[in-house]
Structure 1
Amino acid sequence: MNTHPPDTTKHYWEVRELVVIGIFAAITKVSSLLVALAGGGMNPLSLMLKNVVFTALIIVLLFKVRKFGALTLFMVVGAVFSMLLMGGGFFLLPVMLLAGLMAEGCIVLLGGYGRNRNIVLGVAIYDIVSKLLAVGVSYLYVREQPQMLIVTGIMVGIGYVGAIAGLFVGTAFVKELRHAGIVRA
């Protein structure tokens, strides 16, 4: 005989949403690693392709989980997964968190997750802010030899071209997933 009252508390995150975020975080890290390995290292083509895949998967994730905090939680889980998988990603965690919170704040200011363009614009903001802040962190490490930032800037620029392409690939992928009934709204 059950004498406990039923749990009527409303939780912000559903288990399904947390699982989706965790799966997408793992998929983005593994697919980025596979693209880099299949491309023969970090050459310009594999760098662009890695960013296309990463940005497209973030767009699909945010269309699937339309809640404030999804992008930031995705970044935290991705950083933890990156630390476990490759032993890195710890130093850029604050950069990713700040960029994620800024992007999600912009999405909310633009009207929320109900509009598709807000999600795409939020991911674009995340991409540019995270890359600029990462270059800033790199500057802190090489400030005695700022010439080293030239190569970093070129690599980040090439990566951002891939991220912009990923915005279009991600929206096209979401359209196909809607036809399949996987993504709603």
Structure 2
Amino acid sequence: MNYQEAKIKFVSTWGSLGTLWGINKAMAQIQALLFISTKPLSMDDIMAELQISRGNTSMNLRQLMDWGIVSKEIIPGERKEYFTTEKDVQELARVIAKERSRREIQPVIKILKEVSSIENDGSAETKELIKQTKALHDLTETADDMINKLVNQKQNWITKSLIKLIK
């Protein structure tokens, strides 16, 4: 397999995996392309490489910047905007985990707390709803706390955290 074949396979596979993580294929492919690029890429570069429209590219770059994993880079003498992504794999994982907690887990915790705090009217149904949603709330909050402890470690957070768990 040569470089071009390997690049296409990586970007395509990363795009497919992205859909499993709750982001669209084009968004994941753009991030993958930027991840393996040796230099910042313009929107035109990305569009040509991935064969996607300007609107699709623009929208997904904006979302990736909202996530905090893609940023604009100024190249002196160039009028085009250029984009790059975090290259440190552990930092990238940390940023993604933190953002997913904020976007996905925190809203669920809030709703579970609200639902499990309803007034208990004494019925079996209400008691069961409170019991089960409180248990789910506590589990979700504990899992989120563990994730936050992991992601708040700076350098080599995965390794350091795993060592702490083993000790």
TM-score (norm 2): 0.34
Higher RCO (CA-CA < 8 Å; seq separation 6+):
1
Q: TM-score, normalised by structure 1?
A: 0.31
